[in-house]
A = this chain, B = another copy of it.
Amino acid sequence: MADSRFFKKFKDFSVAEIAEISGCEFSDAVDSAFVLDDVAPLNTAKENHLSFLDNVKYKEDFLSTKAGACFISPAMEEFAPADTICLITPTPYKSYALAAQAFYPEKYSPANAIIAETAAIDKTADIGASVTIGHHVTIGRNVEIGEHTRIESNTVIEDNVKIGSYCRIGSNVTLSHALVADYVRLYPGVRVGQDGFGFAISPTGHVKVPQLGRVILEDHVEIGANTTIDRGAGPDTVIGQGTWIDNLVQIGHNVRIGRGCVIVAQVGISGSAKIEDYVAIGGQVGIAGHITVGMGARIGAQAGVISDVPGGQEYLGSPAFPKSQFFRQVAALNRLIKKKKHD
């Protein structure tokens, strides 16, 4: 199904192989040697394709799918079309992810590592083995880049930045004042390490506060396209291990984000906020400065968090309240206008 101009399939897999890769079960009646030759969405899958049902919104597509096999949760098995092999798992989306990775492994090979002649690399930079550097890249003084890392075209790495191994820095990125660990991925247009918005307001002209911290990106961090992460003002700005940040997000100076967080597009996190581990933040949320969002909190899209919130709960609204309170507010307001209508 995938456009072969952009995506190279590795090989076909049997149902048994896929079950092994993805940690799924299937019933004894299934032909475990059945060949699956690609992945595809439910509504376009054909008889040798592998699909998945994760969001119940797509149940109709499942009922009529032509897919040869499908990852589903146990409760969905009874709805499966007769010709679709059920691969049973409590986490169909994760199983699909693992299977799709098997069909389409990242195509990069260190054997192809090339440093473009058009790149401007300072002679003091320390470039590891099997590093790829694209066209028109600019690399400053004393930069260190670990092995197998790729720096894509037209990106700028400023002086003294340190990047670990197996990272992928997209094109048109700017990276300064940063220490980047291993397996980090920056998408195109990311800006990391510029001065934070730090100044003392004064009627005769704002007075800039020198921004003397850095940005620390721990292992396996991903930063989406055109996202901006300011360096610390004195402390560092830190993004914890395995945290994934979407596109067009703003992270202010001194922000500390824990491990395994998920931050959706267009979120803004103000200076010196602390986001603990495993927090999930929906799109367009704003987090005020100098506050703490507790471990495992979930902040719904467009919410505005203006004070410390404990972890483990879901919040909505601007200002943000616990989810149930927010929906009671909305309901109360709608009752009020109905009442008025009837008065």
- Range of interface residues on chain A? 35 or more
A80 CB-CB contact with B under 8 Å: no
Stretch at the interface among A12-20, A27-35, A123-131, A219-227: A219-227
Q: Mark A134-153, 1 if CB is under 8 A from B, else 0.
A: 11101000100000000011
| Contact of A234 with B154 at beta-carbon distance under 8 Å, contacts A120-B135, A248-B250, A260-B205 already known | no
Judged by a CB distance under 8 angstroms, whether A36 is at the interface is no
Q: Is the CB of B188 within 8 A of A94?
A: no
Which residues does chain B contribute within 8 Å of A103, judged by CB atoms?
210
CA distance A290 to B275 in the complex (A): 28
0/1 string, A321-339, CB within 8 A of B gives 1:
1000100111011111100
Number of copies: 3
A51, closest chain B residue (CB): B234
Option from B212, B220, B325 in Cβ contact (under 8 Å) with A337: B325
Find residues 3-24 in chain A having any chain B CB closer than 8 Å to their own CB.
3, 5-7
Render A275-300 as a binary contact track against B, CB cut-off 8 A, 1 for contact. Answer: 00010100110101010000000000
Q: How far is the CB of A160 from chain B (nearest CB, A)?
A: 4
Query: Is A76 in the interface zone, CB < 8 Å from B?
Result: no
Does residue A116 face the partner (Cβ distance < 8 Å to B)? yes
CB distance from A152 to the nearest CB of B (A): 7
A113: chain B residues within 8 A (beta carbon): none
Q: B334 and A340: CB pair below 8 A? A: no
Q: Does A315 contact B (CB under 8 A)?
A: no
- Asked whether any CB of chain B lies closer than 8 Å to the CB of A66, the reply is no
Chain B residues closer than 8 Å to A5, beta-carbon distance: 142, 160
Cross-chain contact A333 with B329 (CB below 8 angstroms): yes
Could you say which of B55, B156, B265 contacts A153, with CB atoms under 8 Å apart? B156
Task: Tell me how far the C-beta of A108 lies from the nearest C-beta in chain B, rounded to whole angstroms.
Answer: 12
Q: Given A97-B200, A156-B154, A228-B248, answer yes or no on A206-B283 (Cβ-Cβ < 8 Å).
A: no
Is A201's CB under 8 angstroms from B262's CB? Answer: yes
Residues from chain B with a CB closer than 8 A to the CB of A62 are: none
Report Cα–Cα, A278/B337, bound state, in Å: 31
* Beta-carbon contact of B191 and A247 below 8 Å: yes
Taking a contact as CB atoms under 8 Å apart, the answer to whether B39 and A212 are in contact is: yes
CA distance A228 to B172 in the complex (A): 13
B-side contacts of A286, CB under 8 Å = 266, 283-284, 301-302
Find chain B residues with CB under 8 A from A208 CB: 97, 101
Contact (Cβ within 8 A) B270 A283? yes
Q: Among B116, B203, B210, which residue has its beta carbon within 8 angstroms of that of A101? A: B210
B264 contacts A234, C-beta separation under 8 Å = no
Can you list 16 A-B pairs with a CB-CB distance of less than 8 A?
A2-B212, A6-B177, A7-B210, A44-B235, A55-B290, A100-B210, A116-B120, A154-B156, A187-B195, A201-B280, A205-B260, A206-B244, A225-B228, A248-B250, A284-B304, A329-B337
3 cross-chain pairs, A with B, having the tightest CB-CB distances, nearest first: A94-B200, A174-B188, A2-B212
